[in-house]
Structure 1
Amino acid sequence: MWFKRMQPDAPAATRRDHARSRHGPAVSSSARSRAGLLVLAIVACHPTPADAGSSATNGTIALSSQLVDRGLAITPATPIIQAAVSWASPAGWSLGLSGSTELRSPRRITQSLLQGSRSWSLSGDWQMQAGVLYYRHSGDARSTAYDRGEAGINWLYRDTLTFGVSAIRLIGAGDRRTRAAADLDVHWPLTEHLFLSGGAGVAHVPPVRYSYSYSRYRHYRYHDREGFYRYGHVGLMWVDGPWRVELDRVATDLESSRSTPDPDASPWMATISRSF
């Protein structure tokens, strides 16, 4: 997922949460902002609005080319399986849980995401959503990214435009600073099933671990940098009922390989997903 942010972003990595229109695509309210693009992946992590008077449970499974979080690679360029389940109430409350794993090591969860949110209707065209998320990494991803908690607010215009801001706290990074991110995403209909997908964001540069070893043990310290970096994507998305296919060109002005353990992010990201 870049689960753009599996926008709980995928089944991501991951953003930022998705409102499904009659045309088909779900708009990521903060998936990309939180986990990246294709990991948008957690398409299901951003629940579809429930019918009036009833709660709704939804699920999504996806296959992505890489797990990327806000333009930075979490895994090598290897196929990623993502799965997500979400619950939404007619009052606007929603809960989501998702997990990602490398196809070559399906028994090891690479990234998991727990999300809770509350949505409000501002007008016939605008909605607002406030939510909290918790990202947990394991396996090789733990040497690349820190676990983190996020709180964010998102504004959605129909099923076309989403803007969100997030406050981020890293767990185990050696500092207690609150970091920030802002994301803008657009899904513009070209035909009944084809959409232009684009987005841009800015975020504090995250600290990264670097490893050193002696004997048979490996230890991790962290390296930190100040300032912000920018990231974005542009591509095409095809939607037909529960199926979605997306291909994006991804760019960032901060290299993901800024420390030894970090993998490189592929400039092209692809995801195919199905919702249930």
Structure 2
Amino acid sequence: MIRFHFFEASDIKQFNKYFIDYINFGGYPEAIFSESVRENPQRFIRHDVVDKVLLRDLPSLYGIADVQELNSLFTTIAYNSGQEFSLETLSSQSGSPKNSIKKYLEYLEAAFLIRIVRRIDQSGKRFKRDNFFKIYLTNPSLRSALFSPIDPLDELMGAMAETAIFSQWMHRQNFTPYYARWKNGEVDMVGISTKNLKPYWALEIKWSDKYVKEPLKLKSLLRFCKENSITQALVTTINHYEVKEVNGIQITFIPSSTYAYTVGLNTIMI
């Protein structure tokens, strides 16, 4: 059995507290060292992001005249980071035409505030029409700033752990993440080989430890791996690290916090 090599925390509960700090304040070192910023991160980061990037002159370079509409769209995306969207749903929710939404998304991605992740099917193939896609904040602390900081028991913790992990991968210039979604299943992140354009690894992001004891409930992941001849997969947890073989597939369970740290560290070392 081949084992992946990951950073292991000597005190995972304490390390998870640091992970929550990263999710809430990580993109802004001032929040770590300044008590006044930590007490009111919304005011500091709103000014840094909304005023400087969304409401000043920069959007006009992209032909964006209605910066309030841009701000409203970004707020919607920030609240729902990691969710699946379409131009139709965003247009319907905002009341803006699809062409405007497309222009706003292009700007937000160019400003490195969001990252659009494309969908593949259960066979690992791109859809001819990219009607649906996921959008992630490039920095999870943007959501905490626009709304409120989260804690480990927050119902949004899973989505923010997913955003935090994706944000670490976004710094890899030569890597494009995908997600797989089909009628009855989904896999959070898939790596596509540049040589044969086929999936060669898969990751399921969970803020839960229950799947370590009940790995057969990872039906979508197991099905995707089997169909694409993937023999190893990763599943994140809260506290547990363990390697199991399930239906012929080696699954490495690893805490979300240490996995995110490992990806970030490896990115720096490349």
State TM-score, norm by structure 2: 0.23
Larger helix fraction of residues: 2
Larger radius of gyration: 2
